[in-house]
Amino acid sequence: MSLAALSIAQLRARLAAGEVTPVEVCDDALATIAARDGGIHAFLDVHAEAARRRAAELTKSGEFRRLPLGGIPVAIKDNICIQGTRTTCGSKILGEYRPPYTATVVERLRAAGAVVVGKTNLDEFAMGSSTENSAFGPTRNPWDLSRAPGGSSGGSAAAVASGMAAAALGSDTGGSIRQPASFCGVLGVKPTYGRVSRYGLVAFASSLDQIGPFTRTVEDAALVLNTVCGKDPRDATSANAPVPDFTTGLGAGLRGLKVGVPWAFLGADVAPAVRAAFDKLVDSVRREGAVVEEVALPHADYGLAAYYIVANAEASANLARFDGVRYGHRASEAKSLYDMYTHTRREGFGAEVKRRVFLGTYVLSAGYYDAYYHRALQVRTLIIRDFAAAFTRCDVVMLPTAPTPAFALGEKTDDPILMYLNDVFTIPVNLAGLPGLSLPAATSAEGLPIGVQLIGRAFDEATLLRAAAGVERVAEFPTGAVAPAR
């Protein structure tokens, strides 16, 4: 069996026993990338030389033995900066941008001994649900190469699903970690707002963005979260909350756990295969001794509409920095500063980014601000209250991650609203700032993974992960499975 199929926990055991070295693990990951990424296109850049150098250092010094992620190959979404290497955000406007600094999450992973193998593909500026909005071409779903991996962190999800990395980082503004995790059959965690430093993450919507891990098991997700969570003086929104060891108590099981299911929110738009998998899992969870209760999220239905106002208003402000002055692409022929701005941004941004910046500009413009933006922020308050009420009655909320399994490439690219509906179950979690995760629940008749979403109380990732570990044991999907090469 290739090392690529092993979880972080399994790799750690082999590394600790001296059965393999970080160099061997790194070479295996790079060989897997060479063999498989031609068909998948999860990576925009492979950092082979830097990875080999780091793995050799770790092997020589032996320090990987005492580091929590010593010698573990990880991939990084290409909206997270690594000094001196290309960061594209999947956009032409960043050109050959090489950031002069490194994101805190990458520094933390490196300090924990992880070996960064490369940067992964994404929808341009993380705007999308299929990774088809990348200026560098789409990523394909490792379980079925004719389908999308989800998005926007589709490259990270596909890299982990195909064994090209043991873990990856993504970012989640409205579901961009959880939905691709569901489509690719891997674990994807969006931590509580403020849990993980965003220093070095290229901002999309600052009140919603959060960095989190992709792994193939719950235990592995806990290991990565142990490393990346915590206060960072360079991100004023990062929280001072204590970070427990998330790996403790993962064997606690489901007995006595209160699981809330908002049945009324599930609605008619859920694909039959997803609904069947969800209902079956609810039964399994109940059989394991969890108490399943109905909860109400009466305003969750408005989440998608509120999100497209709030997120795009923030995006229109955040993306104002791409002006052709300090970095990235600049239109060459412009005679005036104004023309330089407008031509640079026309040439540099793709269609979805333009749509969203225009929408954000519209809802913030004079005359529309109160009707749209202010009202959306009020609806956000109501969604926060819905969750607060639900969590007086349960420990975790359970929902499907996405209404469908992976769809075909090109299937939804002509209809922005159809694409947005992918995120109907994940968006309320970002609006409320809560932690949520997707874990593989089942496999559809066509062999596609189907995820289930668990949502927890703010800063209670520990309970969320314990519940997830319990669900993982009863889920039909084979724990830790790597998509077979095809």
Partner 1 sequence: MPKLDREVVRHLERLARIELAADEVETITAQLGRIVSFVEKLQAVDVTGVEPTRSMSHEPLDRLRDDVVTPPLDRADVLAQAPDVSGDFFRVPRIIEKVDE
Nearer to partner 1, 241 or 266 (CB): 241
Instruction: Please give the structure tokens belonging to residue 336.
Output: 């005036």
- Minimum distance, C-beta of residue 102 to partner 1, in the bound complex (Å): 11
- Minimum distance, C-beta of residue 346 to partner 1, in the bound complex (Å): 5
- Minimum distance, C-beta of residue 315 to partner 1, in the bound complex (Å): 11
- Minimum distance, C-beta of residue 195 to partner 1, in the bound complex (Å): 10
What is the SS3 assignment for 419? Answer: helix
> CA 330, 331, 333, 336 torsion: positive or negative?
negative
Which residues have a Cβ under 8 Å from the Cβ of 186 and sit 6 or more positions away? 157, 160, 161, 214, 215, 216, 440
- Minimum distance, C-beta of residue 149 to partner 1, in the bound complex (Å): 24
Alpha carbon distance 484, 486 (integer Å): 6
Nearer to partner 1, 64 or 420 (CB): 420
Which residues have a Cβ under 8 Å from the Cβ of 431 and sit 6 or more positions away? 208, 303, 306, 307, 310, 380, 383, 384
Alpha carbon distance 76, 114 (integer Å): 11
Closest to 252 measured CA to CA, from 395, 393, 392, 390? 395
- Minimum distance, C-beta of residue 96 to partner 1, in the bound complex (Å): 9
Q: In what order do the strands lie in the sheet with 187-190?
A: 43-46, 115-120, 73-77, 167-172, 210-215, 187-190, 436-443, 449-455, 396-400, 258-261, 291-294
Cβ(407)–Cβ(450) below 8 Å: no
First to last CA, the chain: 17
118, containing H or E segment: strand 115-120
- Minimum distance, C-beta of residue 334 to partner 1, in the bound complex (Å): 6
Nearer to partner 1, 384 or 481 (CB): 384
- Minimum distance, C-beta of residue 356 to partner 1, in the bound complex (Å): 9
Nearer to partner 1, 136 or 302 (CB): 302
Cβ(207)–Cβ(181) below 8 Å: no
Q: What is the DSSP letter of 257?
A: -
What is the SS3 assignment for 214? Answer: strand
The one catalytic residue among 91, 129, 152, 156: 152
- Minimum distance, C-beta of residue 151 to partner 1, in the bound complex (Å): 18
Instruction: Please give the structure tokens belonging to residue 258.
Output: 């209160």
Q: Which residue's structure tokens are 């998948």?
A: 40
Nearer to partner 1, 303 or 451 (CB): 303
Residue 119 designated active-site: no
Which residues have a Cβ under 8 Å from the Cβ of 8 and sit 6 or more positions away? 69, 72, 166, 167, 215, 217, 219, 220, 223, 224
Instruction: Please give the structure tokens belonging to residue 65.
Output: 């033995």
Cβ(285)–Cβ(254) below 8 Å: yes
Nearer to partner 1, 216 or 412 (CB): 412
The one catalytic residue among 130, 156, 162, 176: 176
Nearer to partner 1, 278 or 307 (CB): 307
Residue 152 designated active-site: yes
Which residues have a Cβ under 8 Å from the Cβ of 290 and sit 6 or more positions away? 254, 255, 256, 257, 258, 259, 470
Alpha carbon distance 290, 284 (integer Å): 9
Alpha-carbon distances of 161 from 23, 82, 189, 445, rounded to whole Å: 22, 23, 15, 19
Nearer to partner 1, 295 or 432 (CB): 432
Nearer to partner 1, 21 or 312 (CB): 312
Residue 77 designated active-site: yes
The one catalytic residue among 7, 77, 129, 130: 77
Residues labelled catalytic: 77, 152, 176
